[in-house]
Structure 1
Amino acid sequence: MNLQINRTYLLLFLLLFSIEALIAIFVPTGFIRYTLGDYLVVILIYCFAKIFIKGHSNIIAISTLIFSFSIEFLQLSGILDKLNQQLCYKINFRQHFSVVRFSSLCIRHFNNSNNRTY
């Protein structure tokens, strides 16, 4: 894997991070915060990896999917309750399960990457 700074993905990362910050500040609850915010964060993680890693799009997409699934399963299991960390950290871990939107991201990526040549 070649490590380089990809400016396109850097700009996408900064744009998505700004949108996530605005959602966190101005949208306290609801569909946009919980569903759209989670969906954008997966794309944000993918863009962050693509900033530094040239090529290997499928590997990065699968890794992002596995990471996202891991976080969702930890949320589903109530890991913060078990660790008793809710008061120590103000992390917005919601207790819901959303495998479908993470899977759809990877399916879209694989469909797009099969139609292009890198």
Structure 2
Amino acid sequence: MFAAVMRAFISRNPSRKSFFIYAVLLFLTEVLIALYAPAGFIRGFVGDVLVVILLFCMARVVVPFTHPVENTAAKNTGDGIKRLFQTPWLAFAVLLFAFAIEFGQYWGLVDKLGLGGNSLARIVIGSHFDPLDLVAYFVGYLILLGCYWKSRQP
């Protein structure tokens, strides 16, 4: 089953429906990790790697996507917003978003927004900075790039 999911994930033209299914599966995996995994490598590192992939899948569900090979007009016009929605740039944007959230934790963003008493905000945004999280986010980004480049091979 895992092989079938990976084949679909790196297919040349995955649909929004496929990314919705991936997002739901990754979200459920994240919930299971949060509920049942003990503190350590799985919860502290693997969960953070998967969250970048989850955010990417969620973004692919809602943003329009033009493939550079299939839409050469978008590539030739240099339209920046269309380039952002291409897979490598979108993955990079998700990485920057994850980094921004992590640095927001460093600067106490939850408290500065006045949400310190809100437990859901503390869970979603986070409340403490960990440099290892940045490494985990980057690993998730590298996995996304690897899947993208694998899907481009003939």
The bucket for the TM-score relative to the shorter chain is: 0.7 to 0.9
CA distance in 2, matches of 1:30, 1:117: 35
Does residue 42 (structure 1) correspond to residue 52 (structure 2)? The answer is yes
Pairing partner for 2:93 from 40, 43, 63 = 63
Which 4+ residue blocks in structure 1 deviate beyond 6 angstroms? Answer: none
Equivalent residue, structure 2, for 1:103: 138
Higher alpha-carbon deviation: 9-18 or 85-94: 85-94
User: 1:51-74 CA distances to partner (integer Å, 9 max, x unpaired)?
Assistant: 233341012101101101101111
The DSSP-based 3-state class of the residue aligned with 2:119 is: coil
Deviation at 1:10, TM superposition (A): 1.3
Distance 1:116 1:109, change over 3 A: same
Distance 1:8 1:87, change over 3 A: same
Distance 1:48 1:61, change over 3 A: same
- Report the identity percentage: 30
Pairing partner for 1:80 from 107, 110, 118 = 110
Provide TM-score, normalisation by structure 2.
0.61
Higher alpha-carbon deviation: 81-90 or 8-17: 81-90
CA RMSD of superposed structures (Å): 2.4
**AA paired with 1:106?**
Y
Long gaps (5+) in structure 1: none
Equivalent residue, structure 2, for 1:29: 39
Structure of larger gyration radius: 2
Long gaps (5+) in structure 2: 1-14, 68-85
Distance 1:35 1:115, change over 3 A: closer
Provide TM-score, normalisation by structure 1.
0.76
Contact preservation (8 Å) 2:20, 2:58: yes
- How many residue pairs get aligned? The number is 114
